[in-house]
Amino acid sequence: MNRVHNFSAGPATLPLEVLEKAQDELTEYKDKGRSIMEMSHRSAEYEAIDQQAKERLTELLGLGNDFEIMFLQGGASSQFMMAPFNFLSEDETADYIDTGRWSNKAIKEAKLFGNVHRPFSSSESGYDRVPTNDELDFSDNPKYVHFTSNNTVAGTQFSTEPETNGVPLVCDASSDFLSKPIDVSKYGIIYAGAQKNVGPAGVTIVIIRKDFLAQADTDNVPTILQYQTHTEKIFNTPPVFNVYMVNLVLEWIQQKGGLSYFKKFNEEKAALLYDEVDKDDFYRGAVEKDSRSIMNATFRLPTEDLEQKFLKEAQEEHDLYTLKGHRSVGGVRASMYNACPRESVETLVNFMADFRSKNG
């Protein structure tokens, strides 16, 4: 087996142990003579997977009995629409903190349903930072405050939740979900596409606080787009195999030591890479240091030609894959999610040092 060093921003690397377990169970699940992909979503086997995954999420995040968990489809992009559809009316205002490409897309969707106020935007500086609490200028009575906890394109991240003085947070947590502990009491909704930290593409995890869910519109929203349709039941056929994979990844996270373990693990990996970036001016971090993401490190080289040479040599000579920055910004991006091994980051850092010595 020749596993490369995979720095893909998503779909991203998965734990090898999880892939091997899925391989073992692929053609026959629990001596049933068929794959989990061939079983009804109403079967006892799948219902047990669904329940176990929700129990594991509840334990990892410390949700208690205060939240509903749903496995939906359509990615985080569907939640850009679904959240305001359920919670925002034309005479209400929601505050959207604008820190990148995905928060801007969420703002566009929310404007279809109600008023949107931006308490902060870093768009004019190329989304190179996230705000401090002192910079947030909220509207008078927002229904909720939306933020993107980690910005995969720019490479910025909120180190902690924005302070909203009790207004529920709605969070697109797609690219740092389960990478560190969070204060769940501050959230109305947490949603995340699974394909970065929790599983393969095709399932979206949505977690909603029950008292916030009680405020949702159930009269003017199509049935399948109502969050309440999906509480405590499986309304329509879910992405069965994807949820099965998520459940295996959650088991792996628990076995490793939970969110506190991964916070330390991810911070150590990021520190290795950023220390190399900051040694001199050959590599330049693309965002302000206080806003740097531990999930997606972005940096530039002195010229675009050198960047292309760097990317080519990284892949062809060192098996360092998918380091090209997002097409909208260019540069280099190393995505170091939970399943990215420390050895991969060490290999990248060693290559960076060697490349600098030969091209600096």
Binding residues: 42, 76-77, 102, 152, 172, 195, 236-237
Binding residues for pyridoxal 5'-phosphate: 76-77, 102, 152, 172, 195, 236-237
**CA–CA separation, 347 vs 309, rounded Å?**
17
Which regions of the chain does DSSP assign to beta strands (E)?
A: 5-6, 67-72, 93-96, 115-117, 145-148, 150-151, 156-157, 169-172, 187-193, 204-209, 284-285, 296-300, 320-321, 332-335
Cβ 106 vs Cβ 80: under 8 Å: yes
- The answer to whether 180 is a known catalytic residue is no
Binding residues for L-glutamate: 42
Full DSSP string of 4-17: -EE--SSS----HH
User: What do you get for the CA distance between the two ends of the chain, in Å?
Assistant: 35
Catalytic residue, candidates 95, 128, 172, 176: 172
Pairing of strands 156-157, 150-151: antiparallel
- The answer to whether 98 is a known catalytic residue is no
Catalytic residue, candidates 186, 196, 269, 324: 196
Full DSSP string of 209-222: EHHHHTTS--SSS-
- The answer to whether 252 is a known catalytic residue is no
How crowded is residue 236: how many other Cβ atoms within 10 Å of its Cβ? Answer: 11
Cβ 40 vs Cβ 233: under 8 Å: no
Using alpha carbons only, how large is the chain's radius of gyration in Å?
21
Catalytic residue, candidates 54, 95, 102, 324: 102
Catalytic residue numbers? Answer: 102, 172, 196
